[in-house]
Copies of this chain bind each other. A is one copy, B any other.
Amino acid sequence: MTRVRDLSEEQILERIVPLLPRGNATLLGPGDDAAVLAAPDGRFVVSTDVLVEDRHFRTRWSTGYDVGRRAAAQNLADIAAMGARPTALVTSLVVPGDTELDWVTGLATGLADACAPVGAGAVGGDLSGGPCLVVSITVHGDLEGRPPVLRSGARPGDVVAHAGVRGRSAAGLALLEAGLVRTPLSAAPLEVGDGVLLEDAWERLVAAYLRPEPPLAAGITAARAGATSMLDLSDGLLRDAGRIARASGVRLDLDAGAFAADRDALRSAARAVAAATGLGDPGWGPGNADIDGLVGRWVWAGGEDHGLLATFPAGAQLPVGWSAVGRVHAAGEAGVGAAGPAVTIGGALPADQPGWDHFSA
């Protein structure tokens, strides 16, 4: 078994670089002091995200491949959330010397598999030893002549819409933490019918956590359809919706009914997690209120689903992949005053669901 400390940085790069996709916008790839990328409309978008071992992933659950997929996906989602097409990413990787080389090459393959469907390249990086695994990715995108879709453009009367999955990543993480699903996952989870949640469906939830698949194309279609605001849901629906609301100076009112199917689909996993973790009355086990609470937390506050939340002008036809989940109101409407809540559910204040913070967590 080869470990990274047995090789020089150049030897490791010789194994990694051939695994990486060149990308459609790449004019000069890895190997020089910098890469050169095309920016056909004279602008580009850029975002960066870092994953730290034991904080954003655990090696006992995630393979190198999983971490590569996940790190790339959450970065690509930030580009999609601007309404841009991802073009290329660069990666800084910190690896302890006893890391297996296979973990590192797996990460490169995961990056490649996440980039390939959108034609993005992996065009450079840096590699260092260190006390724990750190994967820092910077990603770039092309606005294709469109204005960027900001968080600050939502207007009263707009429709709030969502693309992607909801609550699955948090449910998958809970299943892993409860020891109910073991990794590595089977490569091809079984398809199951609506409402029938088999153990294989639990694997789908875990896969949503380990290898999220953000709806990248939906970001571009939303921009084309005139979305007035948009963001990537990384810290939980309520918390991220609040960011659009505050940036736009409006209130987002979400329709609980629009999330009923998501909650129902997660109840079987929630029952299993509640039983396994001793939630509820010690004599009787978890009750319906406990299950409802858990499912609600996953859907409203669960982070890292990496769906997209956007607002569209009233009457706009939502593009394929988007569903209406609420309405934009003027701030201070609904009798709550100008300093009222940024986000409501059916007009009411949500229960306290702050979402994920990397320092208070």
Using a CB–CB distance below 8 Å, which chain A residues touch chain B? 4-5, 7-10, 12, 27-28, 31-52, 55-56, 78-79, 81-82, 84, 88, 90-94, 97, 123-132, 134, 136, 138-141, 143, 148, 150-152, 230-232, 247, 357-360
Contacts of A9 in B (CB 8 A): 357-359
Instruction: Return A120 CB to nearest CB of chain B, in Å.
Output: 13
Query: Is the CB–CB distance between A34 and B46 below 8 Å?
Result: yes
Complex Cα distance A84/B32, Å? Answer: 13
Query: Is the CB–CB distance between B81 and A46 below 8 Å?
Result: no
Query: Is the CB–CB distance between A46 and B94 below 8 Å?
Result: no
Query: Is the CB–CB distance between B34 and A128 below 8 Å?
Result: no
Query: Is the CB–CB distance between B148 and A36 below 8 Å?
Result: yes
Query: Is the CB–CB distance between B52 and A130 below 8 Å?
Result: yes
Complex Cα distance A134/B92, Å? Answer: 10
Q: Closest chain B residue to A219 by CB distance?
A: B33
Partner of A48, one of B12, B38, B91: B91
Given A4-B359, A12-B359, A148-B28 in contact, is the A46-B130 Cβ separation under 8 Å? no
Query: Is the CB–CB distance between B129 and A55 below 8 Å?
Result: yes
Contacts of A44 in B (CB 8 A): 36-37, 39, 44
Query: Is the CB–CB distance between A129 and B358 below 8 Å?
Result: yes
Query: Is the CB–CB distance between B43 and A35 below 8 Å?
Result: no
Contacts of A79 in B (CB 8 A): 33-34
Contacts of A42 in B (CB 8 A): 38-42
Contacts of A139 in B (CB 8 A): 34
Query: Is the CB–CB distance between A35 and B47 below 8 Å?
Result: yes
Q: Closest chain B residue to A6 by CB distance?
A: B359
Contacts of A130 in B (CB 8 A): 52, 55, 132, 134
Query: Is the CB–CB distance between A48 and B5 below 8 Å?
Result: no
Given A32-B150, A33-B232, A39-B42 in contact, is the A48-B92 Cβ separation under 8 Å? yes
Complex Cα distance A248/B38, Å? Answer: 25
Query: Is the CB–CB distance between A90 and B138 below 8 Å?
Result: yes
Complex Cα distance A130/B37, Å? Answer: 32
Query: Is the CB–CB distance between B88 and A46 below 8 Å?
Result: yes
